[in-house]
Amino acid sequence: MSLDPRAIQIHTDGSCYMEQDRISGCAAFVVYPDHLGLPEFQIVDYGCAENTNIRMELMACAKGLEWALENEPWQDVTRIYIVTDLQFLANNRNNIQYWKKNDWRYLSGEPVAHEDLWDAILKHMNKLAKVGLRVDFHYKKGKKDAMGKKVDQAAKAAAQRGGFDADFGFKPGSYTRSMVPGRGSAQRFHASGQTLVIRPYKKNPRRKREEKVSFHIFDETTQSYKGKFYAYTSPGLSIELHKGNGHKVLFNADPKFPQILQRIGNVQLPKPVRKKKTKSTP
């Protein structure tokens, strides 16, 4: 896809260090079209003590558009590109308004995460449209060119600095030890009315709507865990699903909006095996 050569490009990126207590940051650079004769420079430098990677990606976009509102107009410029390595952002430009009309839910009914940032992005887009600036999103795989590397390094530097900025929309949730190795994120559970034993390891509270619970499935026959999945449940039932414990639960039958409908009872889980520390020889 060729970009409009007379458009302003805002290159964004986010970073989160999971192994360092989730210190996070984001950055954005503006690249002006040749006819303006202006040098590129960093317009977003944001770091906080704890967050998530996807919120940082969305934050970079929201703050980049906020900068554009504060600095427009530009001669013969009618378009702004947000250049991002987050495909979910790039693919959903035209869907944000419909999510908002649907009370920040997808067509399936599943809640849209980070609605505060999506709402800010939509408001900035609408304000820019009123002054004749269309906003488009363009996906580009990260760190594949000089600018991609530059904005990636800036986002990581902001994360390592951390703590200066506050994201009041961030709700950290609560965590316990994962029993399935690997850093992969939880996948939407394919709910089909099953009754299974789960071990919750993460819960994300959501104001006035279903809470998101991440869990492993526990096989009572093999006494082993598998997968990293998520489903939703009511705030009241979420309280009963204590993290790190075994629960036999009933799911609904909607793979597009999986929900835990009922907690049937407790299941005893095996005690985790702890690795013995080896003594170093002098």
> Over 6-18, what HEC string results?
CCEEEEEEEEEEH
Phi, psi (degrees; rounded to nearest 5) at 166: -120, 125
Structural domains present in the chain:
8-161 (3.30.420.10), 174-267 (2.40.50)
- Phi first, then psi: give them for residue 34, nearest 5 degrees: -55, -35
pLDDT at 193: 98
Residue 70 has pLDDT above 60, yes or no: yes
Q: Among 196, 213, 202, which Cα is nearest to 248's?
A: 196
> Average pLDDT, stretch 51-77?
97
Q: What is the pTM of this model?
A: 0.89
Mean pLDDT of 160-170: 84
Predicted local confidence at residue 67, as pLDDT:
98
Asked if the model's pLDDT at residue 281 lies above 60, the reply is no
Convert the pLDDT of each residue in 101-149 to its tens digit: 999 999 999 999 999 999 999 999 999 999 999 999 999 988 889 999 9
Token digits of residue 268: 């005893």
